[in-house]
Structure 1
Amino acid sequence: MKPGLKWLAAGAMLALPLSAQALLADCTVAGSGVAFGSYASPGSTTATGTGTVTVTCTGLGLLVSYTIQLSAGNGTFATRLLKSGVTNALNYNMYTDTARTIVWGDGSAGTSTVSDSYLLSIGSNARNYTAYGLIPASQSKPAGTYTDTLTITITY
């Protein structure tokens, strides 16, 4: 009789709606910076770089699903801006693919998000996702340190 009760308990947990299962997991997100290196102005070639978004979830052996979004930063999703001071800016963007054709954003304005779903083992599981950056060629800007800050949002 006890094996039957175990089966019912396991079946009940699997039958919970996804939103209820998500309450049993705790997920955090962290990102590393993208270093493009030196960009020769007027920029005869593009500059590329990569960064990592890490999602760590902890739970009790359940299905976990999440979506990762990036903010527009200093610009828009069409053209993000790396700024040096108030007036100098380099156009750039962040992508979900190595070909740098799918803009990583919040799902609006033609952008995409990154989603994942998997069975979470008991304990903690970290997954890494690569963010691909690109500065287009032929931008004539003065020398300086150009930066932007993007906010990473995870919905689970």
Structure 2
Amino acid sequence: MSNSSDSSTRGTGHASARVLDTYGRGVRTALQDNATAYGFSISITAAYGLASGSRGPASAAETIGFALGAGTAFLVITLLFLSKHERLSEGEQVLTLSGAFDFLSVVVAVAVGYGLSRIPGSPAWPLTGLGTVVSYLLVGGLDVVLARALSRHTSLGRSDSP
């Protein structure tokens, strides 16, 4: 009898090890896929807090200016690196151009956020978050469409190979 209980315990141990291995792979994938965005989010949030802390509460115009400055940085860096005439595949070109068009997503999301933040009372909080994310994602989808269309009609960053 001890053999059957030993084998069932051993099977449970192997199953637990498989679950832990799978979980570990999942955590590593989440870290890989999100580390850069998470680091950026921490950095930009801290920068906003530092600017607000040293100058007092930010006005709506200052917050919009901060967001547009951050978005402009992405646009400028993207254009700077695209102008180096690196050879990019069509997929890489679309992704890079989409990053440049992301500025449009930021502008629309900040404008929607500003408008919704003006709603009186506590509904402004969830509605501002909801509207900002929805508008960013919907315009973000257009970014990809615009980037794909532009990549077909420009040699910006395109490989010269046939």
TM-score of the pair, normalised by structure 1: 0.26
Larger gyration radius, structure 1 or structure 2: 2
Higher strand share: 1
TM-score of the pair, normalised by structure 2: 0.25
Pick 1 or 2: higher relative contact order, CA cutoff 8 A, min separation 6: 1
